[in-house]
Structure 1
Amino acid sequence: MMNRVLFIGAILGVFSAVAQEDTAEKLRDSIAPYETVINLEDVFVFGNQPVFRNEEQRKKYELLKYRVKKVYPYAKLAADKLYQIERTLDTLPNNRQKKRYTKKVQEEAEARFTDELKKLSRSQGKILIKLIYRQTGDSAYDLVKNLRSGWRAFWYNNTAWFYDLSLKSVYNPLEVEEDFWIEDILQRAFSRKELEVQEPAFPIDYEAIEKKWRNSSKE
């Protein structure tokens, strides 16, 4: 059975180049206190805590926050490097050179990230796959398929099911409650400069989504 690091590493390996900058600071696990007023390009005003239905939901939120802050930097890096790789691929004259280039990128990225990815839990891997969709607009499955081969994507996806993961997972905070809480965590972390802002690959109206789920919690 393939180790989970191989299929998560394949995601990053397909569209990640060797990072030149030190990402240690971006991977910190500390949880900072909430602030009351946040200034962004679009101004959001957050309370000291989001509103929870019960204590169990609050505890789940705190755990989810830890996981999101752990894996978001990987998703951001994936989107950054995907853009760079696509630009490079456009300059290569034939498929042979493109395949050689993507293989080299994958090998370099796996060498760079394998030790870090081994430390990710299954729950963190699930969130990483969702955030890759948020930052690139494509599922991890489609990215692997488009940049390497359909057979490779099929194998990675079916291996992932052994760990209760799917590389076809998408990110939909309007319809999926966990995704809404992930978005809430990201927006709060961006506002406190705990995570580096990167715009999602598709429009996300946080205010509308937050209003929907706030009203839903009152029902």
Structure 2
Amino acid sequence: MKYIVLMLLFCCFAGRARSQNQLPHPKVGKNDTIKTYLTNYEGELVPWVILPEVPVVSVRIWPSEADRKAYYRLRYNVYKVIPYARIAGDKYRQLQRDLALTSDKHKQKELVKTCEKEVKELFNAQIKNLTITQGEILIKLIDREVGTTSYELAKQLKGGFQAFMFQSVARIFGHNLKETYDPEQERDIEAILRQAGYYSNRYN
């Protein structure tokens, strides 16, 4: 059986080699330095050209002026928190890589504290100025970015009691750190993110 498979593969490659040898060799000028794949189309060599993705969207018809304004408010709020979600995701992934390099519990605690300090220095003032709606969107985008809720992040990095305290404080300000992100339920947010060119490791 193995012999038959090898023979079939040999025939395929041999046939492919013969067909390639039969293709006319294109004339190359002195400035032709870009290499590309070619396809033999009816005896003519046609180069492959990779074009960027072009999103095709229809014109949205708004049921009312209030709906249109609500959408643009949502877009403003999403754009406002995208940078925080992106950096939070980058910091989290870097922290996970650093933690994986050591089994020393003391060293791991230092890494967590350093990461927490860096995030606070970057966004402490800005995060405080977010509205309740923007905070809710940020919590969802963090889940979208790293694949776990803000509550679980706090629990992993700071312990269950600290996560509970953070959740209790967040509740006072109208937030829920256990908020998850579902692209099917958050279609408008997902569309806004993709229009902005914002992708993640989970949804791309």
TM-score when normalising by structure 1:
0.65
Give the deviation of 1:200 after TM superposition: 4.3
Check the 8 A contact 2:91/2:115 in 1, yes or no.
no
Residue from 87, 107, 110 that aligns with 1:77: 87
Residue from 132, 142, 161 that aligns with 2:152: 142
SS at match of 1:184: helix
Query: Larger relative contact order (C-alpha < 8 A, sep ≥ 6)?
Result: 1
Change (3 A) 1:91 1:200: closer
What amino acid is the match of 1:189?
A
- Structure-2 separation of matches of 1:95 and 1:148: 13
What amino acid is the match of 1:199?
S
Matched residue, 2:44: none
Aligned length: 154
Matched residue, 2:195: 188
Bigger radius of gyration among the two: 2
Matched residue, 1:164: 174
Matched residue, 2:113: 103
Q: What is the aligned-residue identity percentage?
A: 35
Matched residue, 2:26: none
Residue from 44, 57, 75 that aligns with 1:46: 57
- Structure-1 separation of matches of 2:60 and 2:167: 35
Give the RMSD, CA atoms, in angstroms.
1.8
Check the 8 A contact 1:99/1:148 in 2, yes or no.
no
**Residue 93 (str. 1) matches residue 100 (str. 2):** no
Gaps of 5+ in 2: 1-50
Check the 8 A contact 2:85/2:141 in 1, yes or no.
yes
Change (3 A) 1:67 1:40: farther
- Structure-2 separation of matches of 1:92 and 1:64: 42
Give the deviation of 1:104 after TM superposition: 2.1
Change (3 A) 1:181 1:200: farther
Matched residue, 2:76: 66
Matched residue, 2:48: none
Deviations 1:147-195 (A, max 9, x none): 2211111111111111111000011131x2xx211111112222xxxxx
Deviations 1:33-76 (A, max 9, x none): xxxxxx854x42023x4333222111100000000001011111
